[in-house]
Chains A and B, each alone.
Chain A
Amino acid sequence: MTLHTPASDTRGSAPADAAESLPATLRRNAPLVPLDTASGRALVAVIAILTFLAALCAGAAELVSASSAQWRSSVAREATIQVRPRQGRDIEADVARAAAVARAAPGVQEVRATSHEESARLLEPWLGAGLDFGELPVPRIVVVRLGEGPRPDLAPLRRALAEGVPGATLDDHAQWLARLSTMAATVVGVGVGLVVLVIAAAGLAVAFATRGAMAGNREVVEVLHFVGAEDDYIARAFQRRFFQLGLVGGGIGGLAALAAIGGAGALAAAWRASPAGDQIEALFGAFAIGWRGIAIVVLIALAVSAVAGAMSRITVRQHLAAAG
C-alpha cells in the first residue's frame, strides 16, 4: 500500500525492502484456531487412548490371523488313514497295504504307519497306563504327509482305500480346518468391528470437541467472517487443527500399542520354557506382529487423524450453516 503520507510523518516513508528487515523470529502464519488449549490436550489424550485400544484389537486379531494361517497350512499338509482291526484279517497286512496305496497316490510326499505300540500309547491318556493292549482291537494310524503346493484331490485315494483295504478310512482334516478358519475369521471379524467402533467413538469425541471449540472460539469465527473468510475456509482451519490433534493423539496411541505388543512379545519369550508360555505361543505364535501388523497400527493412527479432521470440518460446516 502506498500512502501519500505528510512529509512530517517520517515513519510513513517505509523502505521498499521493509520485509527484509523483519525480525527473524516473527511468526507469520500461526494456526487461525488456537492449538494448545486444555480441551485440545484432553482430546489428544482421548484420541491416544482410543487409538491404543483400536491398535491393540487390530494387533491381537493380526496375531491370531497369522498364527491360524500357520496352523492351517501345517494341518492341511497332513491326512490320516485309520485302519480298524477286523475279525479274520491281518491288521499288519492291512496297514502295510493302506500305506502302499497311499504311497501310490499322487501328491503324497511321505507315508508313515504307526506301530501297535505307538497306537497303544495314543490311547493311554484315556484308558490309563499299565494295560495290556495286546488283546484289544486297537485301530492303527497311517500318517500321510502331502507335498508342497496346492492340496491334491484325495478322493481317488479314498476310493482306492475303500476298494483295497476294508476297514480303512481317510480323514483329510477338512472339518478341523473349517473350524479353525471359522475361529480365525471370527476373531478377525470381532477385531475389525472393535476398530470400527473405536474409530467411530473417536469421530464422535471430535464432533463434541469441535462444538466446544466453536463455542470457545466464537469471537475468532465472527472476526474471520467480518474480515471476509468463507465458511469453508473457517471449516478448513478447524479441520487442520483437529487433524493435527488427531495425528498427535493417534501417534501416541499407536506407538504405545506397538510398545505394548513388543513388551508382551518380550514377556512371552521370557516365559517360553514354562507351560503358560507354551500356551501363549500355541495361541499367538511368536507374539510378533511383523511389518503387516505395524502397517495396520500406522493405518489406524492415520485413519483416526483423518476421521478427526473430517468430522471437525463437517461439524463446523453444519454449525455455520445452521447459524445462517
Chain B
Amino acid sequence: MKALENQDFASTAAPVVRFENVGVRYGLGPEVLHDLSFTVEPRSFQFLTGPSGAGKTTLLRLILLSVKPTRGLVSLFGQEVAGISKQALTGLRRRMGVVFQDFRLLDHLTTYENVALPLRVQGKEESAYRAEVVELLRWVGLGERMHVLPPVLSGGEKQRAAIARALIARPDLLLADEPTGNVDPPLARRLLRLFIEMNRLGTSVVIATHDFGLMDQVDARRLVLGDGELHIDA
C-alpha cells in the first residue's frame, strides 16, 4: 500500500499530542513507562506497537487523560493538560475517538444507539444524525444488526461497532487499541482502509497493535514500546 504522505501537511500546526519526559507509575511501584517524548502531528498516521504488556494501552490512556502522568508534560491540541478543568477535558475528549480493546459498548443500548452516542451526548437531535449513523453502520457491515443489543453481537461485530462509534463524530485524533484483533484478515484490511480514509480526511490516527501483518500493509511511522521506553521507527 502506498506510503502515507500526510505528515508533510503538519509542520505549521501545533502537534495533536505532545509528550515530554513523561513517566507513569502505579502507586508506589516502579515506573511502567519512563521518559516518553514524542509528538503526534496533525493528519499523521502511526502505529503504536510492542510486546503484550509493554504499556500500549497505558500510553493510549495517558493520551485519553484517563491516566495521569506521574511526571513530565502532556499537551493535547496545543493545550497543556496539567490542572485542566473538567469542561476543557470534555472539550478535548470530544475531539478524540477511541476504540477500546474490550470495545466498551453499553449493553443496554442497541448498536445504533451505541454508535450514535458521541453525537447524542453533544445534545444533537436524533433526526440530525440518523442518516450519518446508518451510513456508517452499513459501511462497517452492521446495517442488518443496528437494532441488536451488544451481547448478541459476535466479537468482530462488536469491534466494528466500537470503531464506528469512535469515528462517527469525525474526531481530530483517533486512538485504536488492537482494532483488528477479533476480525478475519479481509475485514481487517477493510477496517484499516477506513482508518486510512479518515486520516485522509484530516484525522490523526494512532493504532496500537502487535499485528505485523497489519502494519506491513501501510508505510507509516511506528512508535515501539519496550521495557517502558519508546523508540520511533520512522
Contacts of A227 in B (CB 8 A): 93, 117-118, 121, 165, 169
Taken together as a complex, chains A and B put the C-alpha atoms of A28 and B115 apart, in Å, by: 11
CB distance from B166 to the nearest CB of A (A): 9
Do residues B147 and A12 form an inter-chain contact, with CB atoms below 8 A? no
Contacts of B168 in A (CB 8 A): 1
Do residues B113 and A28 form an inter-chain contact, with CB atoms below 8 A? yes
Stretch at the interface among B30-38, B47-55, B133-141, B213-221: B133-141
Residue A138 CB within 8 A of the other chain: no
Contacts of A220 in B (CB 8 A): 106
Taken together as a complex, chains A and B put the C-alpha atoms of A225 and B147 apart, in Å, by: 24
Stretch at the interface among A18-26, A87-95, A202-210: A18-26
Residue A11 CB within 8 A of the other chain: yes
The closest CB in chain B to the CB of A233 belongs to: B121
Taken together as a complex, chains A and B put the C-alpha atoms of A18 and B87 apart, in Å, by: 35
The closest CB in chain B to the CB of A28 belongs to: B126
Give the total of A residues in contact with B, Cβ under 8 Å. 36
Taken together as a complex, chains A and B put the C-alpha atoms of A226 and B66 apart, in Å, by: 9
Residue B174 CB within 8 A of the other chain: no
Evaluate whether A29 and B104 lie within 8 angstroms (CB atoms) in the complex, with A11-B138, A226-B66 already known. no
List A residues 1-46 near B (Cβ within 8 Å). 1, 3-6, 9, 11-12, 14, 16-19, 22-23, 25-30, 32, 34
How many pairs of A and B residues are in contact by the CB < 8 Å rule? 107
List B residues 179-234 near A (Cβ within 8 Å). 190, 193-194, 197, 200
Do residues B86 and A230 form an inter-chain contact, with CB atoms below 8 A? yes
> Which size class do B's interface residues fall under?
35 or more
CB distance from A123 to the nearest CB of B (A): 79
Contacts of A233 in B (CB 8 A): 121, 123
Taken together as a complex, chains A and B put the C-alpha atoms of A30 and B112 apart, in Å, by: 11
Residue A224 CB within 8 A of the other chain: yes
Which residue from B98, B106, B134, B194 sits with its C-beta under 8 Å from A3? B194
List A residues 220-245 near B (Cβ within 8 Å). 220, 222-231, 233
Evaluate whether A14 and B135 lie within 8 angstroms (CB atoms) in the complex, with A3-B194, A28-B130, A228-B118 already known. yes
Contacts of A3 in B (CB 8 A): 135-136, 139, 194, 197
Do residues A228 and B146 form an inter-chain contact, with CB atoms below 8 A? no
Do residues B98 and A19 form an inter-chain contact, with CB atoms below 8 A? no
The closest CB in chain A to the CB of B138 belongs to: A14
Do residues B139 and A11 form an inter-chain contact, with CB atoms below 8 A? yes
Residue A163 CB within 8 A of the other chain: no
Evaluate whether A22 and B121 lie within 8 angstroms (CB atoms) in the complex, with A219-B104, A228-B93 already known. no
The closest CB in chain B to the CB of A27 belongs to: B110
Main secondary structure of the interface of A (DSSP, over half): loop
Which residue from B64, B87, B110 sits with its C-beta under 8 Å from A26? B110
Residue B82 CB within 8 A of the other chain: no
Do residues B86 and A11 form an inter-chain contact, with CB atoms below 8 A? no
Taken together as a complex, chains A and B put the C-alpha atoms of A222 and B107 apart, in Å, by: 14
Taken together as a complex, chains A and B put the C-alpha atoms of A25 and B146 apart, in Å, by: 11
Contacts of B197 in A (CB 8 A): 3-5
Which residue from A14, A16, A28, A228 sits with its C-beta under 8 Å from B112? A28
Do residues B113 and A27 form an inter-chain contact, with CB atoms below 8 A? yes
Tell which of A4, A32, A220, A227 has the most Cβ of chain B within 10 Å. Answer: A227
Do residues A11 and B90 form an inter-chain contact, with CB atoms below 8 A? no
Do residues A30 and B109 form an inter-chain contact, with CB atoms below 8 A? yes
The closest CB in chain B to the CB of A225 belongs to: B93
CB distance from B156 to the nearest CB of A (A): 15
Evaluate whether A228 and B170 lie within 8 angstroms (CB atoms) in the complex, with A4-B200, A5-B139, A22-B134 already known. no
Contacts of B116 in A (CB 8 A): 28
CB distance from A257 to the nearest CB of B (A): 33
Do residues A1 and B132 form an inter-chain contact, with CB atoms below 8 A? yes
Evaluate whether A14 and B94 lie within 8 angstroms (CB atoms) in the complex, with A1-B170, A27-B113 already known. no
List B residues 151-167 near A (Cβ within 8 Å). 165, 167
Residue B122 CB within 8 A of the other chain: yes
Contacts of A230 in B (CB 8 A): 86-87, 90, 121
Do residues B169 and A30 form an inter-chain contact, with CB atoms below 8 A? no
Contacts of A26 in B (CB 8 A): 110, 112, 146-147
Residue B143 CB within 8 A of the other chain: yes
Do residues B130 and A19 form an inter-chain contact, with CB atoms below 8 A? yes
Taken together as a complex, chains A and B put the C-alpha atoms of A123 and B120 apart, in Å, by: 83
Identify the 3 closest CB pairs spanning chains A and B, nearest first: A228-B94, A14-B135, A229-B121
4 further A-B contacts with Cβ under 8 Å, apart from A14-B134, A19-B131, A30-B113, are: A18-B138, A223-B104, A227-B117, A227-B165
Q: Which of A's residues lie within 8 Å of B, judged by CB?
A: 1, 3-6, 9, 11-12, 14, 16-19, 22-23, 25-30, 32, 34, 219-220, 222-231, 233
